[in-house]
Amino acid sequence: MRKLDRREILLQSAGLLGTLALPPGGQAADTDSVAPHNAIGERVGEVGADSATVHTRLTAAPTRNNLGYSFPVYTHNVDTIGVLSKIRIPDGLSIAGLEGACPGKPGHVRLQYSHEPNLSRAASTDWVAVGPQTDYTHQFRLRGLTPGSRYYYRVEIASLNRKSSRRGNVGNFRTAPEQDRWAPVKFLALSCQDYACRDHLDGYRTYQAMSRQQADFVASIGDNVYYDLDLPFATTIDLARFHWHRMYSQPLVMELFRNTAGYWLKDDHDSHEDDNWSTRPTQRVAPMSYQDLSPIFVEQVPMGPSTYRRFRWGKGLEVWLVENRDFRSPNWDPDGPEKTIWGAKQKAWLKRSLLESNADFRVLISPNCIVGPDPGHGPPFKLPGGGADSHGDGGFEFEGREFRHWVKDNRLTNFLTINGDRHWQYHSVDPETGLQEFCCGAVTDAHSVKDKVLIPRYHKFLRTRGGYLSLALEGSAAAPILAIKVLDIDGHVVHKTELRRT
């Protein structure tokens, strides 16, 4: 018997999905009788002690279009923008004909979830009709879950006329422990995943390494896709959505997020253009504005009502995720007390909630650096190249320095920041306040910046390659430890340190 290759196995597996009991329905055309698929799989996000959100999308085919038209490959390089901006989809070809495309299809979907791996005694949501209004996506908001528990889940998908159905793959996630219960926790952080810089046939080696970690959750800190650098540029809403479909239908990406919960933050490239703010003049993705593209983020990832929020993982860990694009002042404004990345309301919430927390360790996750430093990226801001974009490059130095000193003045000794956006890995300590910051770097080596030089006054560690971060709450309730590791794209530890509760 001939041995099947990997692609044939995937297609055959998708075709063997079982038939389910269906909700009642009426007659419809034959085209409405075939149940949709879920070529992007499912992702679980916003996990709390008793809640979670499961994101799914209904598609016409069981897998992404792996044989479609591929664009010329240009790795991350702003010097090529003039060339890239002129490249368009070939005449006569639709988005469906592109490599990585996952055309949507209307239908019905519901979710089953259980403590049992075989989904015995599973709870089910109601059936929901899904169509083009939400790009064929749906987000199931689960409530009343058991804290600190492993859940298994899968979607059930029915045709538009409810005459046929199929099941998705089984995934799993863990809910957070209750606030007063101490338990070990491990999470990972990544950022900056340029599609043109992939280093594996099925996605990224970093995702392969992260799947082996068996973490409780992953923080995807921003630049999840690149509207204005990866071809084709997101000059329409449908092209912007295509960027998400292509990225999250890659097998290694799907595998990680099927079995690990996530929290997503957006940054400049996955909300509009490089180094943006809400009123930034449009150039690369014209005629699309920030107001056109930014809302797509909350459609394409599991997300609650606010893009800035906090999550508690038991007695030992609390995590804050901040919004760095919606409320910021224009980057080219002169620095001073009125210039802000976070906006007054978010900044007040951040300070208030940090002081309220009694967690052993507090971790602020920011799309952009707060300590840095990144002197080469600083003022003045000039289009189209950008600059002056973070608290760590001088563009928002007043707010950055004020916050770092606020941390010191309030003695937040069990507090650190982690960030993405910078395309190199580092461990920095602010020389004025002692605030520690860790940067995960880009997802691949090819997407990394190679010309950064160690600054001894700040850097405990600097590496101009790709990878990710691991943070693990270890020890015991009496003597908790937060172990922080910087890892390369294959999961090898290149730097590590420990924080002990003081």
Domain identity same for 114 and 209: no
DSSP string for 246-260:
HHHTSHHHHHHHHHS
Output 8 or 108, whichever has higher pLDDT: 108
**Model confidence band, residue 27 (pLDDT cutoffs 50, 70, 90):** very low
Does 373 map to a domain? yes
> Does the residue 159 lie in any domain?
yes
- Using CA atoms, how far residue 158 sits from 129, 153, 300, 384, in Å, is 9, 17, 21, 47
> Where are the alpha helices (H) located in 52-94, listed in sequence order?
81-84
- Is 362 part of a structural domain of the chain? yes
Quickly count: other Cβ atoms within 10 Å of residue 498's Cβ.
12
pLDDT of residue 163: 93
**Residue 8 binned pLDDT confidence (cut-offs 50, 70, 90):** very low
Q: Are residues 116 and 153 in the same domain?
A: yes
The verdict on 189 and 170 lying in the same domain is no
120, 150, 174: which is the final residue of a domain? 174
- Is 343 part of any domain? yes
pLDDT at 29 > cutoff 90 = no
Predicted pLDDT of residue 500: 96
pLDDT level of residue 274 (50, 70, 90 thresholds): very high
Model pLDDT for residues 110-128, shown as the tens digit of each residue: 999 999 999 999 999 999 9
Burial class (CB in 10 A: 0-12, 13-18, 19+), 174: buried
β-pair partners for 463:
425
- Give the closest residue to 40 by CA, choosing from 22, 12, 59, 54: 59
Q: Tell me the pLDDT tens digit for each residue of 188-202.
A: 999 999 999 999 999
DSSP annotation of 18 reads: P
Q: Which DSSP letter does residue 163 get? A: S
Residue 4 predicted with pLDDT over 80: no
Residues 369 and 418 in one domain: yes
Say which residues have a Cβ less than 8 Å from residue 16's Cβ, sequence separation at least 6: none
If one counts every other C-beta atom within 10 angstroms of the C-beta of residue 202, the result is: 15
- Same domain? For 315 and 407 the reply is yes
- Do 156 and 292 sit in the same domain of this protein? no
pLDDT of residue 25: 42
Say whether 93 sits in a helix, a strand or coil: coil
Same domain membership, residue 169 and residue 44:
yes
C-alpha–C-alpha distance, residues 174 and 172, integer Å: 7
Residues 210 and 265 in one domain: yes
| Domain-embedded: residue 180 | no
Kindly state whether residue 461 falls inside one of the protein's structural domains: yes
- Kindly state whether residues 163 and 277 are assigned to the same domain: no
Whether 85 is in a domain gets the answer no
Looking only at the bridges linking them, the beta strands covering 51-57 and 123-124 are: unpaired
User: What domain range includes position 158?
Assistant: 6-63+101-174
Among 90, 103, 44, 43, residue whose Cα is nearest residue 242: 103
CA distance 138 to 106: 11
Q: String of b and e for 463-486 (b: at least 16 CB within 10 Å)?
A: bbbbbbbbbbbebeeeebbbebbb
Q: CA geometry: angle at 60 spanning 245 and 69, to 5°?
A: 55
Q: What SS3 class is residue 302? A: coil
Considering the entire predicted model, what is its pTM?
A: 0.93
Using the 3D structure, point to which of 127, 149, 174 is the last residue of a domain.
Answer: 174
Q: CATH number for the domain including 268?
A: 3.60.21.70
Q: Is the pLDDT of residue 20 over 80?
A: no
The reply to whether 411 and 485 lie within a common domain is yes
Tell me the pLDDT band of 23, cut-offs 50, 70 and 90: very low
Closest alpha carbon to 310 in 343, 274, 265, 245? 265
Q: Do 467 and 412 belong together in one domain?
A: yes
191 with 111, same domain? no
Q: How many domains does the chain have?
A: 2
